[in-house]
Amino acid sequence: FSCEALGTYKENTNDVIAECAGYEEDHPMAGFTPKKDVRTLSKVDLDILAVDQLLKFPSTNQNELAQLYFKYGKAAEIDDDDFGFQLMSLHDMTQPTDEQQWSPYYNDYVEYFGREKNDDSAIMKAFNDKDADAEQRHAFIVSWMRYNVVPEYMMSLVGYSLQLCQEDVEVSGPEYWDAFAALYIGSMEGSKSSNANEDGLMLWSIANNRARQFNTQNDQFTAKANDEITDLLFAGQSELERKDCVNFEKTASRVLHLMLVPLIQSTIYYAIINENLDRDSTDESLAIGEALAYSLLPIVSKYDKKAGAVIERNMVRTRGVKPVAEGPQVVANAFYKILDDIGFGCEYIGQHDGIDACEEFDGVILKANKSVPFAPSTTTIIVGLASAIWGIF
């Protein structure tokens, strides 16, 4: 349909809603204005939504249509024009590329899971598991896409932006920086940060929802972490444009670790819920909690293996073992042990239902005012990748 065919709602009245129009390249996303058109990439959340809906239907072929959305993507095809990134699927994000290996935690994920492409393997194994409880299987697949596939790819975009800044190449980092923002915010949010969509699927929406539960929201009832991330996104744009790589490294590290806040809060949230379930429960929250834990375990284990072991044995499903057997406070305490390592403190985590990640506060003030060293895991760069994605050369 054309905008002209749809027309204007209640024209010449006080309730008029203007006719739809074209989409500007720098259209704001939740208060952030990209310099590059990343609308297509932001629509990955619509593919996750499609998978979520399709998995609700009974299937005799392992939900083949949902698998197609995962493997090939669909949402981006509704764009008539070329918006920067070429069509990308969630499956594409799981494949090891030179770009992905610029994530500072790439090697830690490979080491923890013992293989590359673990996200792809985990999702396809779940799709093909005929014996799994249908609701848990559904929840696990969607949660792994939301909390593992997309965030891990986002980490690589941050690392690649920094590398492009430091290298003397024609391709600059803002494209990848804006792509990170598009994936953090998604396509379901409005143009203003205050118009939060509670049903959004990306980390921006998750952060807002958890902030209200953990009392870490601002006066507009959105996440304080999102406020800082928005400021950092604008700062990063400016630093990349003027090749201020020293300051951009600090900004990149700060953003990369702040994006972990909603994942940490969500893991604690599901630890609280799952503590009340029996060992043989098939509740979907067990699968969600497990996917969330796995999104963070490689990073936690990097800094404190004992803390990682605590989270793993309480949040990862094991047949015959009661979920969160040691209690949600023990899980929260394990995250406290690494807060200083990842550069932020208790004010962003908060507390929920009596569970406080800073219960073990020992007088050492952890404040969200530092950035940890940013060390991508590879030492060479293949600039041709930028040509494949952006068509710049």
Rg over CA atoms, the chain:
21
Give mean pLDDT, residues 269-286: 97
Residue 363 has pLDDT above 70, yes or no: no
374 band by pLDDT with thresholds 50, 70 and 90: low
CA distance 359 to 330: 10
Model confidence, pTM: 0.87
pLDDT score, position 88 = 73
% of the chain exceeding 70 in pLDDT: 82
112 compared with 198, residue with greater pLDDT? 112
Tell me which residue has tokens 């939900």: 63
Q: Identity (one letter) of the amino acid at 213? A: Q
Residue 80 has pLDDT above 60, yes or no: no
Give mean pLDDT, residues 167-193: 84
Residue 118 has pLDDT above 60, yes or no: yes
Range of 164-178, 324-338, 353-367 with top mean pLDDT: 324-338
% of the chain exceeding 90 in pLDDT: 64
Range of 70-74, 241-245, 310-314, 336-340 with top mean pLDDT: 310-314
The separation between the first and the last C-alpha atoms of the chain, rounded to the nearest angstrom, is 35
224 is written with which tokens? 């304080």
CA distance 286 to 270: 8
pLDDT score, position 388 = 32
191 band by pLDDT with thresholds 50, 70 and 90: confident
Give mean pLDDT, residues 157-161: 94
356 band by pLDDT with thresholds 50, 70 and 90: very high
- φ and ψ at 197, to 5 degrees? -100, 110
Query: How confident is the model over 299-329, as pLDDT tens digits?
Result: 999 999 999 999 999 999 999 999 999 999 9
Q: Do residues 66 and 51 make contact, with C-beta atoms less than 8 angstroms apart?
A: yes
pLDDT score, position 78 = 46
Give mean pLDDT, residues 228-254: 96
Tell me which residue has tokens 């996104």: 233
Helix (H, G, I), strand (E, B) or coil at 303: helix
pLDDT score, position 311 = 98
Query: How confident is the model over 20-62, as pLDDT tens digits?
Result: 655 556 678 899 999 888 888 899 999 999 999 999 998 999 9
204 compared with 5, residue with greater pLDDT? 204
Residue 11 has pLDDT above 80, yes or no: no
Please return the burial class of 12, using the count of CB atoms within 10 Å of its CB with bins 0-12, 13-18 and 19+.
exposed
pLDDT score, position 96 = 85
